[in-house]
Amino acid sequence: MEFSAIQIAQLLEGEIEGDGTATVHTLAKIEEGVPGSLSFLANPQYTPHIYETQASIVIVNKSFEPEADINSTLIRVDDAYRAFAQLLDLYNQMKHDKQGIDNTAVISESASIGSDSYIGALVSIGDNCKIGANAKIYPGCIIGDNVTIGDNCLLHSGAIIYTDCVLGNHITLHSGVVIGGDGFGFAPNSANSYDKVAQIGNVIIEDHVEIGANTTIDRATLGSTIIRKGAKIDNLIQIAHNVEIGENTVIAAQTGIAGSTKIGKNCMIGGQVGIVGHLSIGDNVKIAAQSGVQNNIKDGDIVQGSPAFNVREYKKSYVYFRKLTKMAEDIEDLKKQVAESKK
Amino acid sequence: MEFSAIQIAQLLEGEIEGDGTATVHTLAKIEEGVPGSLSFLANPQYTPHIYETQASIVIVNKSFEPEADINSTLIRVDDAYRAFAQLLDLYNQMKHDKQGIDNTAVISESASIGSDSYIGALVSIGDNCKIGANAKIYPGCIIGDNVTIGDNCLLHSGAIIYTDCVLGNHITLHSGVVIGGDGFGFAPNSANSYDKVAQIGNVIIEDHVEIGANTTIDRATLGSTIIRKGAKIDNLIQIAHNVEIGENTVIAAQTGIAGSTKIGKNCMIGGQVGIVGHLSIGDNVKIAAQSGVQNNIKDGDIVQGSPAFNVREYKKSYVYFRKLTKMAEDIEDLKKQVAESKK
Amino acid sequence: MEFSAIQIAQLLEGEIEGDGTATVHTLAKIEEGVPGSLSFLANPQYTPHIYETQASIVIVNKSFEPEADINSTLIRVDDAYRAFAQLLDLYNQMKHDKQGIDNTAVISESASIGSDSYIGALVSIGDNCKIGANAKIYPGCIIGDNVTIGDNCLLHSGAIIYTDCVLGNHITLHSGVVIGGDGFGFAPNSANSYDKVAQIGNVIIEDHVEIGANTTIDRATLGSTIIRKGAKIDNLIQIAHNVEIGENTVIAAQTGIAGSTKIGKNCMIGGQVGIVGHLSIGDNVKIAAQSGVQNNIKDGDIVQGSPAFNVREYKKSYVYFRKLTKMAEDIEDLKKQVAESKK
């Protein structure tokens, strides 16, 4: 699809400077702009690129004052970054406009699918599932029995949901996600081996949650593992049984959270963090990447280390960790001097 | 399905106290009990909940002596926790009672499937596979050529097994598990790049092993990567080529074990642990979460840290790591005092 | 298939010593050799095994001089390890000689598939895909729209590629790989929650790259996430949006690389390493396992720790970390002595 500067300016309520008939068919960063692409300039650091970019159209702030000739057609708007993000969104929506049910999808007769939905090739949907309107379920997704999915959900290829799980609205699951696998629960027995503790709870995911590729969220032993509204969860994350993740909490890739831990609202958790089980993490907590959390954390605290403690103290201790050889030499030296002084 | 207190008491050989006609259709924790649910009280810490729970039936120990009125029907047994676990198990078994072969499964003519098995939609089973009795293979599982699977195995949706692998009996694989991918073997060549070392071994998994979602177990270069009887392996774990995991060893999520390392029996390995290749880890070893193991470990040792050493020493060192700023100040102070004393 | 010593000696241009009619049907390590297997002896450490092995044929160096009787037929070659690796390769190639398109594969009419390709059961290939010659795409792979794949690529079961991604030639993807999932990009909004930043770039993978099971490589926000020629990437690795991995760089399992970081050529990155976003890592860099990289790294540097610094300094500091209790005692002791001396 091609769009002209005039069409884009209308959409963004912007003003054209240059050739209004210039057309674009893709989006690009300003430093990578090629003919036929649309770009934007928001961060002043990138200003030099606008005089060299090959992008056919560039969105700029109304306040932008060029200091040399520019080849591209400009579209002036109030907030260039915001306008560009708006276009990214539109572009993305156009990509996910598939509809209809592929005839290789295997859908239980007792399942219901909402209007305007897309069910791709080789999808399996189990008994008694309820899928809302405008669902986009890409090829190869597997949905177990008795699963409920709300409206406007997007499941990328190969996402897997076990039986009995419940998803709200506007949820995105990426490929390879596993929702509702058994919690890791085993009881030692007299034969020095383990008996499985049956895991009969489920997973509940609230509205506007996004979950990254190959992340695993285990079902509760009893009750529910819960991901609250607006939480954003990256790739390859492990969330164990009976965990609860608070509203709008963001978790970076490869973090693991052990069983029954509750995490508050608006937290930011770095990558490769480990959090042990049965803890209570407050609201607005920040945890630095690779930390190991072994104790409860109060609202608003920032921690680092394994085991994790106050981030400033950690950073100070680490400064001296790097100087430990010198410190050890100083101690030896002091010992000699003190011994000497006694002679 | 609904069950009455009388039916459940018969099953558990328990004694009813209260309304024997009370019925339940689900299980719940005592603090989350709702009408129609069955719960249990084992841990005295939870005793206060029994006077408030809405659960219709609660299983209690024979020795339990109420100190106030209870609304629920009680069933008294010798061991309330054990009795409840028994019910969980039954509930779970009822969930996995599917049978028959879905007509969208693609099964090689040279494969054999045991009696009473369930093969779900969109499963692929390769040439010369031998699948035992009572197998439950959920939708979307992919089994390569020449794979042997014993009796009573449960493969959740989307589990993948490469060619030539061998599974025993009573094994559970969760979704997204990859058994038998190539080991990571490359030999540097004269062109400053790498030649692949072909990986022609397999993976052998013994009886009663459970493997969590999205865990990867690589095939051996030659010979076999082996998971011994009763081992329990959590989600997102990496087990490299030619590794051997001993009987009843338990490994928590996101741990990685590099090539050719042998791990003994009855070990407990925490989450996010890394173990380098070609090591020998003894029996009954415990490794704390996030540790990095670089040396062999003797039977019964407990280690922590990266690199890992004795857990008590690690914890002591970490206490002083947290005090390093103070220690550095003390050293500077001592230096001044000693210098002063020399004047 | 069975091969005689004469056939194998011809293939390897080696000399037979013993029974030329001896036949083998499998390969084995010398210490695990069974009748009917072929093995090799290259490392002198393993020499004692040659006098006891049950392998029917053993490949040895021309220079090898036995010191006792050997039961196996020997084939003498210039380089026994190399000759054996050659046989491993042949064996492996024979395993991946499948051809033809399974009738349960779902292939868009607008997609093109090169000659001599194998498309397994239950594969889905989207609109406008271009797949090169001699592709081997195993059951259950899902390829989105507009994906380009070069010649001689091998996709193991259940590999997933999102729309618009581009793969070169001679690439191997293992099971559960997710190529092109959305980058983890969210912008905080005034409602204390997050707006998704659409991710409309792609992933480009150059020739001779191998990617391990369940690894995830996110698409760029704009532009491309790029894996350069010859890079080898292990299992369960996270590569975020707009990352670039240099030629022939090797990355071990469970490492994570955050957004927009560029990594040079011929680097070796250990397992469970974390690298933060927007960094520049030079060529020939080595990063020890479990390190956390927070700063740019110059060509050829070797680092360890979290945060990572010079590997030798790290190791020295860690020696003293282990002795911290003793150091703290020394400081207390010095304090006492100095106080005493002032009296």
Give the nearest chain A residue to C188 (CA atoms).
A248
- Minimal CA separation from B6 to chain C, in Å: 48
Q: Residue for token digits 């087990």?
A: B239
CA angle B27, B29, B33 (to 5 degrees): 75
Rounded alpha-carbon distances, angstroms, from residue A297 to A5, B26, B32, C253: 52, 34, 25, 30
Mean pLDDT of all residues belonging to chain B = 95
Q: Which amino acid is at B36?
A: G
Interatomic CA distance for residues A25 and A279, integer angstroms? 51
A253 neighbourhood in chain C, CB within 8 Å: 184, 238, 240, 256, 258
The span from the first CA to the last CA of chain C, in angstroms, equals: 91
Q: What is the pLDDT of residue B2?
A: 84
pLDDT at position A80 over 90: yes
CA distance A197 to chain B (A): 7
Contacts of A292 in chain B (CB under 8 A): 272, 289-290
Nearest to A232 by CA among A275, A203, A278, A266: A266
Looking from the CA of B119 toward its CB, the CA atoms found within 13 Å total: 22
Which region among B140-154, B247-261, C179-193, C315-329 has the lowest average model confidence (pLDDT)? C179-193
The b-or-e profile of B175-198 (16+ CB within 10 A means b, else e) is: bbbbbbbbbbbbeeeeeebbebbb
**Binding-face residues of A in 69-108 toward B, CB within 8 A:** 104, 106
Predicted pLDDT of residue B92: 79
pLDDT value at position A266? 97
List the catalytic residue out of C156, C170, C174, C241: C241
- pLDDT of A95 > 80? The answer is no
Peptide bond preceding C48 in cis form (omega within 30 of 0): no
Question: Which residues, other chains included, contact A25 with Cβ-Cβ below 8 Å and sequence gap of 6+?
Answer: A1, A2, A3, A36, A37
For residue A27, the model assigns a pLDDT of 87
ipTM: 0.92
> Ramachandran region of residue A313, left (φ > 0), alpha (ψ -120 to 50) or beta?
alpha
Q: Mean pLDDT, to the nearest integer, of A118-137?
A: 98
β-strands B118-119, B136-137 pairing: parallel
Which regions of chain C are under pLDDT 50? none
Q: What is the pLDDT of residues A271-319, one digit of tens each?
A: 999 999 999 999 999 999 999 999 999 999 999 999 999 999 999 999 9
Selecting from C176, C186, C341 the residue whose C-beta is nearest the C-beta of A176 gives: C176
**Is residue C181 within 8 Å of residue A175, measured between CB atoms?**
yes
The alpha carbon dihedral of B28, B33, B39, B43 has a sign of positive
Residue C1's Cβ-count burial label (10 Å; 0-12, 13-18, 19+) is exposed
d(CA B75, CA B5): 8
pLDDT at residue B218, as a whole number: 98
User: Distance between CA atoms of B17 and B50, rounded to whole angstroms?
Assistant: 14
- Do C203 and C180 form a contact (C-beta atoms < 8 A)? yes
B241 part of the active site = yes
- Cβ of B176 within 8 Å of Cβ of A197? The answer is no
What length does chain B have?
343
Q: Compare all CA atoms of chain A with the CA of C176 and give the residue at the minimum distance.
A: A176
More confident: A1 or A137: A137
Over the stretch B178-189, which tens digit does the pLDDT of each residue have?
999 999 999 888
Residue A342's pLDDT is 79
> In whole angstroms, how large is the CA radius of gyration of chain B?
27
Q: Which of A186-190, B321-325, C226-230 has the lowest mean pLDDT?
A: A186-190
Tell me: pLDDT of A89 over 90.
no
Q: Would you place residue B194 in the very low, low, confident or very high pLDDT band (cuts 50, 70, 90)?
A: very high
Chain C hits for A121, CB-CB cut-off 8 Å, are 106, 124
B201 CA to chain A: closest CA distance, Å? 26
Q: Show the tokens assigned to C123.
A: 């594969």
Asked whether A186 and A195 are in contact (CB, 8 A), the reply is: yes
Helix B324-342 × helix B311-322 angle, to 10° = 70
pLDDT at A143: 98
Give the whole-number percent of chain A exceeding pLDDT 70. 100
Assess whether pLDDT exceeds 90 at residue B243: yes
Q: What is the pLDDT of residues B46-81, one digit of tens each?
A: 999 999 999 999 999 999 999 999 999 999 999 999
Q: How far apart are CA A142 and CA B175, in angstroms?
A: 10
Structure tokens that stand for B49 in this block? 């909940």
- Helix, strand, coil percentages (3-state) for chain A, rounded to 5, are 20, 30, 50
Q: Which of residues 144-203 of A touch C (CB under 8 A)?
A: 156-158, 172, 174-176
